[in-house]
Amino acid sequence: MDSTNVRVPPGASAALVEALSAGGAVAGLRVRSFVPLPPGPLEERLITVDQTNTSVVVGERVVVKWMRPAGGGGSPDRAPGLLAHLAATGFTRTPTPYAAVYRDGHDGGLAAVVTGFLPDASDGWDWCVDALLGQLDGGPPADRSGEIGVLAAELHCALATASEILPAPVTEVTRPTWAADGLAVLEQAHRLMADAGDEDARWFTARLHRLAADIERSREVDRAYVIQPHGDLHVGQVLRWRHGLAVTDFDGNPTLAASGGALTEPAARDVAQLRTSLLHVGQIANRRTENRHRRAVADWCRHAADDLLAAYRRTLDERGMAHLFDERLLRPFEVEQECRELCYAARFLPRWRYAPMGVLRSWYE
């Protein structure tokens, strides 16, 4: 586990869940309740995968995510509002939101989010990769990309539905700055890649003008609808559990500076990140199989991204929400996302660079 995680004393999570179930006060904390939390077992189990925060399962029914103090990236304080909004609109394809807990005192920051535990849950970096590897080994097809697209569309429809929490969830922006923002990310990635001075850096520099041209295409859109999106929507946030797929983690992008809870973006931003994450699944599969199935993986990536998009658009249309998605933004945002992945790799996880570089090479070679 990341050594920067929150240190949680044994028994603290169980004590919090017990107090919430009883409806009582919690010393030193303020509670914002969403859905009543029934009493139950209180055994604790730490979730040991790498993560920015620290999550503890209580009684195999509740997850307490203890949040790092503000300043670690993302906008964790936005999650409670979005969870409350989703609960109010009847969206159930996320772990049941029970409560958000805030620290008392002058900062009053978010201390923990308490949600339901999904039995047999596995995140997409596990189940989606395993499914593709199984297909490459002669197993059943890894064909759940359409389901992921439906889930994303249902999420966006809920986020775009008015509630007491968000009475005006959809707004329209004009003269957006997405191209300028994307070009700034491209320049940052170029600078970080140049510092490496290797073959990847030379390849990236040689195609800089083509990357910039694709990002510039977002200037075609001078008016668009925006919502408060998921903000960090990739396959790792899509859980497969015993009753299907669910989406989790509304804290925002941990690699971005916290910008408050009112971040608004076009729905295409989430879709771009979700589609590129499927391409990263392909890169992971290539690495694990030493490129023995490169053509089959490329075919899977193409069909998976297309199936996701088709299911997403179809579901929006069926719900009368087609106006949320402007496909002209998709490729500019996808290119920008891969540049963000390169920046993330350079700063935090150098071994990850192969994935966005593999995607970019597949586009520009």
What is the reported pLDDT for 67? 85
Cα torsion for 37, 249, 277, 5, to the nearest 10°? -120
Dist. CA 221–CA 180, nearest whole Å: 13
Angle between helix 330-347 and helix 354-364 axes, rounded to 10 deg: 150
What is the reported pLDDT for 47? 85
Dist. CA 101–CA 16, nearest whole Å: 9
Please report, for the chain, the start and end positions of each structural domain, with discontinuous segments joined by +: 12-116, 122-364
Residue type, 53: N
The series of mean pLDDT values per 10 residues for the chain, 365 residues long, is 64 94 85 91 84 86 86 63 92 94 77 93 96 98 98 98 96 94 97 94 97 97 95 96 94 59 86 98 98 98 98 98 98 98 95 98 95
Q: Which long-range contacts (CB under 8 A, 24 or more apart) does 202-205 make?
A: 203/357, 203/361, 204/342, 204/357, 204/360
State in Å, rounded, how far the first CA of the chain is from the last one.
37
User: Model-level pTM?
Assistant: 0.91
What is the reported pLDDT for 260? 43
Q: What is the CATH number of domain 12-116?
A: 3.30.200
Domain 122-364 is found in CATH 3.90.1200.10 = yes
What is the reported pLDDT for 49? 67
Residues 6+ apart with CB under 8 A from 27: none
Dist. CA 104–CA 107, nearest whole Å: 7
Q: Return the structure tokens found at 218.
A: 């977002």
What is the reported pLDDT for 2? 39
Q: Which long-range contacts (CB under 8 A, 24 or more apart) does 175-182 make?
A: 175/222, 176/218, 176/221, 176/222, 176/224, 178/218, 178/221, 178/329, 178/332, 178/333, 179/215, 179/216, 179/217, 179/218, 179/219, 179/332, 181/336, 182/215, 182/218, 182/332, 182/333, 182/335, 182/336, 182/339
| Count of beta carbons in the 10 Å neighbourhood of residue 238 | 25
